[in-house]
Amino acid sequence: MTDRTRLALLLAPALLVMGGLFLTGLGFTLLRSLHYAPALGQTRLDLSAYGEILTSPGFLKSLALSLWIAGASTLIAAVLAVAAALLLRQTFAGRAMIGFLVQLNLTVPHIVGAIGLLYLVSQSGALARLAYATGRITAPQDFPALTHDPAAIGIILLYVWKEMPFITLILLANLQSIGTDHEATARSLGATRWQAFRFVLLPLMLPGLAAASALVFAFAFGAYEVPLVLGAHAPKALPVLAWQTYTDTDLATRPEAMAMAVIIALFGFGLLLAYARVLRVWGSDAR
Amino acid sequence: MRGSWRTLAGLGLASWLILPMVPLVIWSFAHGWRFPDLLPQTWSIKAWTYALSPASGVLNSFGLTTLIAAATTLLAALIGVPAGRALGLHQFRGKTLVTLFLLAPAVLPGMAVVFGLHGLFLRLGLTGSVPGVVLAHLIPVLPYMTLIMAAVFSRFDPDFEAQARTLGATPFQTFRCVTLPAILPGLLTGALFAFLVSWSQYLLTLAIGGGRVQTLPLLMFGFVSAGRNDVTSAIALLYILPGLLILAVTIRQVTGRNIALTEGLRP
Amino acid sequence: MTRLVLEGLTKAYPGAGQAALHDLSLAVESGSLTALLGPSGSGKTTTMKLIAGLLSPDRGEVLLDNRPITSLPPEKRQVAMVFQNPLLFPHLTVAQNVGFGLKMQGLPAHRIADEVATMLGRVRLTGLGARRPAQLSGGQQQRAALARALVLAPRVLLLDEPLSNLDPTLRDEMRGLVRDLQRETGITTLVVTHDQAEAVALADQIALLLDGRLAQHAGPDDFYRRPASQAVARFFGAVNFIPGTARAGQFQTSFGLLALPPESAEGAHLLTIRPESILLGPGPNPLTARVKAVTFLGTQSRVDLSVAGHPLRAVVAPDAARSLRAGDSIPIALPPTALWLLPAQS
- Judged by CB atoms closer than 8 Å, whether chains meet at C101 and B181 is answered as no
Report pLDDT for C186. 92
Question: Rounded to an integer, what distance in angstroms lies between the CA atom of residue C343 and that of residue C346?
Answer: 6
Query: pLDDT-derived band of residue C167, with 50, 70 and 90 as boundaries?
Result: confident
Note whether A227 contacts B: Cβ–Cβ < 8 A.
Answer: no
Structural domain harbouring A73: 34-282
- Judged by CB atoms closer than 8 Å, whether chains meet at B164 and C91 is answered as no
Question: Rounded to an integer, what distance in angstroms lies between the CA atom of residue A193 and that of residue B152?
Answer: 37
Q: Among A37-51, A114-128, C130-144, which stretch is predicted with the lowest mean pLDDT? A: A37-51
Cβ atoms of A213 and A224 closer than 8 Å: no
- Judged by CB atoms closer than 8 Å, whether chains meet at A218 and B16 is answered as no
Q: Among A13-27, B225-239, C2-16, C190-204, which stretch is predicted with the lowest mean pLDDT? A: C2-16
Residue B163: HSE in the Cβ half-sphere, 13 Å Cα cutoff: 25
Residue A19 inside a domain? The answer is no
- Please state the pTM of the whole predicted model: 0.81
Superfamily of domain C4-231: P-loop containing nucleotide triphosphate hydrolases (3.40.50.300)
Mean pLDDT of chain A, nearest integer: 89
Closest CB to A87 among B10, B109, B196 = B10
Q: Which residues of A touch B114 (CB under 8 A)?
A: 25, 261
Digitized pLDDT (tens) for each residue of chain B, 267 residues in all? 467 888 888 889 999 999 999 999 999 998 888 887 888 888 889 999 999 999 889 999 999 999 999 999 999 999 999 999 999 999 888 888 898 899 899 889 999 999 999 999 999 999 999 999 999 999 999 999 998 999 999 999 999 999 999 999 999 999 999 999 999 999 998 899 899 999 999 999 999 998 899 999 999 999 999 988 999 999 999 999 999 998 888 876 554 444 544 444 556
Note whether A286 contacts B: Cβ–Cβ < 8 A.
Answer: no
What would the pLDDT profile of C19-68 be if each residue is shown by its tens digit?
688 899 999 999 999 999 999 888 898 899 999 998 889 999 999 999 99
Residue A14 inside a domain? The answer is no
Backbone angles phi, psi at C297, to 5 degrees: -115, 20
- Domain limits, chain C: 4-231, 238-343
Specify the DSSP element, H or E, that contains A50: helix A48-54
Closest CB to B90 among A7, A92, A108 = A7
The CATH number of C238-343 is 2.40.50.100
- Judged by CB atoms closer than 8 Å, whether chains meet at B167 and C148 is answered as yes
Q: Which residues of B touch A7 (CB under 8 A)?
A: 86, 90, 92
Chains that touch C (3 or more CB pairs under 8 A): B
Residue B43's beta-bridge partner residues?
B30
Q: Which residues of B touch A13 (CB under 8 A)?
A: 78-79, 82-83
CATH of the domain at A161: 1.10.3720.10
Q: Which residues of B touch A253 (CB under 8 A)?
A: none
What would the pLDDT profile of C236-266 be if each residue is shown by its tens digit?
988 899 999 998 889 999 888 999 988 888 8
As a whole number, mean pLDDT of residues C277-293 equals: 92
- Judged by CB atoms closer than 8 Å, whether chains meet at A104 and B196 is answered as no
| CATH of B56-263 given 1.10.3720.10, 2.130.10.30, 3.10.50.40, 3.40.50.1000 | 1.10.3720.10
Question: Rounded to an integer, what distance in angstroms lies between the CA atom of residue C31 and that of residue C28?
Answer: 9
- Judged by CB atoms closer than 8 Å, whether chains meet at A272 and B104 is answered as yes
Per-residue burial over B143-173, b if 16 or more Cβ lie within 10 Å, else e, is: bbbbbbbbbbbeebeeebbbbbbbbbbeeeb
Q: Which residues of B touch C85 (CB under 8 A)?
A: 157, 159
- Judged by CB atoms closer than 8 Å, whether chains meet at B117 and A269 is answered as no
- Judged by CB atoms closer than 8 Å, whether chains meet at B116 and A261 is answered as yes
Note whether A98 contacts B: Cβ–Cβ < 8 A.
Answer: yes
Residue A213 inside a domain? The answer is yes
Longest CA pairwise span in chain C (Å): 77
Indicate whether this complex's ipTM tops 0.85.
yes
- Judged by CB atoms closer than 8 Å, whether chains meet at B267 and A215 is answered as yes
Closest CB to B168 among C49, C89, C152 = C152
Instruction: Give the number of domains in chain A.
Output: 1
- Domain limits, chain B: 1-44, 56-263
> Which of C87, C102, C152 to probe by mutation at the B interface, max B CB count within 10 Å?
C87
Q: Which amino acid is at B211?
A: G
Report pLDDT for C138. 87
Note whether A183 contacts B: Cβ–Cβ < 8 A.
Answer: no
